[in-house]
């Protein structure tokens, strides 16, 4: 059975730096205190986990069109904005 703490930790782990999450290891309530809007807490765009299928599709597009790098970065930023909105 998945607890709320595990769910939040998994979702935060998609875009929040691991050292920020590790600092909250002892108390699940500390997760809720993470400032999702503070960019210093975010991992680099290229390190964000977007899912295996999405990653493969994005890399395929990038191989075909080098201009797609800007679109790839935009996608990752929009994914982060979605997660911030979802988790706040």
Residue 26, both tokens? 């002892």
Residues 28-69: tens digit of each pLDDT: 788 888 888 898 999 888 788 777 787 787 778 777 776 667
Residue 64: count other Cβ atoms within 10 Å of its Cβ: 9
pLDDT above 80 (res 25)? no
Question: Beta-carbon neighbour count of residue 54 at 10 Å?
Answer: 12
**pLDDT for res 53:** 82
**pLDDT confidence of residue 66:** 65
* Reported confidence tier of residue 27, pLDDT bands at 50, 70, 90: low
Please give the share of the chain, as a percent, with pLDDT higher than 70.
92
Specify the pLDDT at position 40.
93
């Amino acid at each position: 059975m998945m607890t709320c703490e595990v769910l939040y930790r998994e979702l935060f782990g998609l875009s929040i730096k691991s050292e920020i999450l590790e600092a909250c290891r002892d108390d699940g309530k500390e997760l809720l205190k993470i400032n999702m809007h503070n960019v210093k807490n975010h991992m680099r765009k290229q390190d964000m986990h977007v899912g295996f299928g999405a990653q493969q599709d994005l890399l395929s597009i990038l191989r075909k069109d080098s201009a797609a790098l800007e679109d790839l970065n935009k996608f990752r930023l929009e994914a982060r904005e979605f997660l911030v909105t979802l988790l706040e």
